Structure 1
Amino acid sequence: MEAKRLLSGKEKKIKRKEVLEKKKAIDEIIKKASSVKDHLVSFPPFCHYERNGLSVCLESGLGDQLAPPVKKYIQNLLKVNMEGPYGPEWQMEEKVKRREMVSPEAHYIFVRQSTNTTSNENLSTKSEETTYPGQTGDRNRLVGFVHYRFIVEEDIPVVYVYELQLETCTQRKGLGKFLMQLIELIARKNHMGAVMLTVQKANVLAMNFYTTKLRYVISNISPSRVDPL
């Protein structure tokens, strides 16, 4: 026969205080990280990427400070990259993403083609194959972005990557891995416990990228591991 020991009133009070203090500490970590306007300042070597024929520069942005052409660019790149994987669900999902992209909590890393190397000419030529409305037309045009936030998951402060979207001309050249390494550095710098993101199981290329190349593991709270009943 087993007996369960009940906590006394004093023990419950102490326990409750510990829980509240932990929550307060986590909230402070999130608040401090979210208040930083430009996380790239701490990582100068990651402000440029020049490998595999690519020459791009990175810059930071905030969801509630996006210029109209940038908003249009984000919308169209999302449509180009995600309409296929989502299929019939895209129309509803697109509305959700449009709300998410302008949130004050949304942090961005924008990828722009550079103008100081010959590899830039190749990038410019290739990118003409697809039109992304919202571009300004200058040589420092956008070619991708990362949308991330600082949130709490299961009582752990995390960086949650909402979007990692790149134009075709910049894919499979190491840039995606480079950007995720930067996100991981930002997470460590700001005392986050993990980096998290959501990938559709049907998106085989993305699944392989995160699980094989970057060695991410499926979280215990992933919908794919939850019994629908």
Structure 2
Amino acid sequence: MTRKEILEKKRKVQEITKAAVSKKDPLSSFPSFHHYNTKDLSVYLDSGRGDNLSSSVKQYIQNLLKVNMEPAYGTEWPEEEKVKRRQMVSSEARYIFVYETVNADANIMFKLSKKGRSNADGTDDKGHLVAFVHYRFTIEEEIPVLYVYELQLEHRVQGKGLGKFLMLLIELIAQKSKMSAVVLTVQKANMTAMNFYRNKLRYLISIMSPSQMGLQSNYEILCKSFNYEAKAVLEMKFLKWNKLQSMLWSRFQFCNFFSVQRSKILFFSLGDVVLSYVWPLVHFHEMHSVILLDR
């Protein structure tokens, strides 16, 4: 790829992301997802922005985050809570709020949603706030992605298919907005969430995740890609980082070894020979490829 082509590609990615961010209400494209009903649960969905949250909704978000996430973070929670409070009100933050409807038709409640007033416990004239999704349109590894910052449900509405419904909606919003993947972060200690994303929704551990680069961390980065390029850049499930290190080091044990940003490119030099292993941008089927750049 020439420098001009690289810059043009980067410009297009930025334009796609900017267009997604500028859309006023991504939920409006999916009217059939405005409400969700089961035998014992009836809810409707509404959109929101981080820079337009009422104080009571902010408090509700903080309360639910504390209840759901403090056990997974343990002693790290006080510091993490501060980070989440800042993230919560960012102008880039997009929300899907879920309101429980009681003795009211979900469509009627949705029409009233713009007029609602809320209290700190999540109760207002829209209904009772029982869950929310915080997501953003952003760029990871030069790929436009929808990044899920939070998927939080009150305990009493869990296990009713609502979380799966919300993630399906998120994936539809991502594809409608021309995002190439959905990306999210899960604490390793949160086994329920890890099982939900990996086994039920078939998300994969991303190559961006610390564990795939031989680093110790308490979280994993997961992803679901929608096209070949995103799969190559974000997933690259064929060869794990630690296996790559062992394989190449044994083969080029006399080479000088170092890695560049997120281990995308590994360089090995032996005299005047420079070898570069480029992943995940270049690979052939399920095999790794070593490319001779210069001799």
Q: Return the TM-score normalized by structure 1.
A: 0.85
Maintained 8 Å contact 1:201/1:207:
yes
- Counterpart of 2:192, as a letter, is L
Which one of 117, 123, 132 corresponds to residue 145 of structure 1?
132
Which one of 49, 52, 69 corresponds to residue 62 of structure 1?
49
| Partner residue in 2 for 1:106 | 93
Q: Deviation at 1:117? A: 5.4
* Equivalent-residue separation in structure 2 for 1:176 and 1:50 (angstroms): 13
- Counterpart of 1:62, as a letter, is R
Q: More strand by proportion, 1 or 2?
A: 2
* Equivalent-residue separation in structure 2 for 1:170 and 1:137 (angstroms): 18
Shift in CA distance, 219/57, structure 1 to aligned 2, threshold 3 Å: same
Q: Deviation at 1:139? A: 6.6
Shift in CA distance, 54/136, structure 1 to aligned 2, threshold 3 Å: closer
- Among all aligned residue pairs of Structure 1 and Structure 2, give the percentage whose two residues are the same amino acid: 63
The answer to which of 33-42 and 87-96 deviates more is 33-42
| Partner residue in 1 for 2:213 | 226
Matched, 1:46 2:33: yes
- Tell me the SS of whatever aligns to 2:204: coil
* Equivalent-residue separation in structure 2 for 1:59 and 1:207 (angstroms): 26
Matched, 1:194 2:191: no
Which one of 23, 26, 36 corresponds to residue 13 of structure 2?
26
Larger Rg: 2
* Equivalent-residue separation in structure 1 for 2:104 and 2:212 (angstroms): 47
Matched, 1:80 2:72: no
Q: More helix by proportion, 1 or 2?
A: 1
- Counterpart of 2:198, as a letter, is T
User: Higher relative contact order at CA 8 Å, sep ≥6: structure 1 or structure 2?
Assistant: 1
Structure 1 gap segments, 5+ residues each? 1-13, 119-131
- Tell me the SS of whatever aligns to 2:127: coil
* Equivalent-residue separation in structure 1 for 2:61 and 2:13 (angstroms): 31
The answer to which of 138-147 and 89-98 deviates more is 138-147
- Deviation sequence 1:144-182 (CA, Å, 0-9, x none): 100000011111100000000000111000000000000
* Equivalent-residue separation in structure 2 for 1:199 and 1:140 (angstroms): 29
Aligned residues: 203
Maintained 8 Å contact 2:51/2:89:
yes
Shift in CA distance, 195/227, structure 1 to aligned 2, threshold 3 Å: same
Maintained 8 Å contact 1:37/1:61:
no
- Tell me the SS of whatever aligns to 1:173: coil
- Counterpart of 1:101, as a letter, is M
* Equivalent-residue separation in structure 1 for 2:208 and 2:39 (angstroms): 37
- Deviation sequence 1:75-95 (CA, Å, 0-9, x none): 000001001110000000000
- Counterpart of 1:91, as a letter, is P
Matched, 1:182 2:182: no
- Counterpart of 1:27, as a letter, is Q
Shift in CA distance, 139/185, structure 1 to aligned 2, threshold 3 Å: closer
| Partner residue in 2 for 1:121 | none
* Equivalent-residue separation in structure 1 for 2:138 and 2:154 (angstroms): 27
- Counterpart of 1:60, as a letter, is S
| Partner residue in 2 for 1:210 | 197
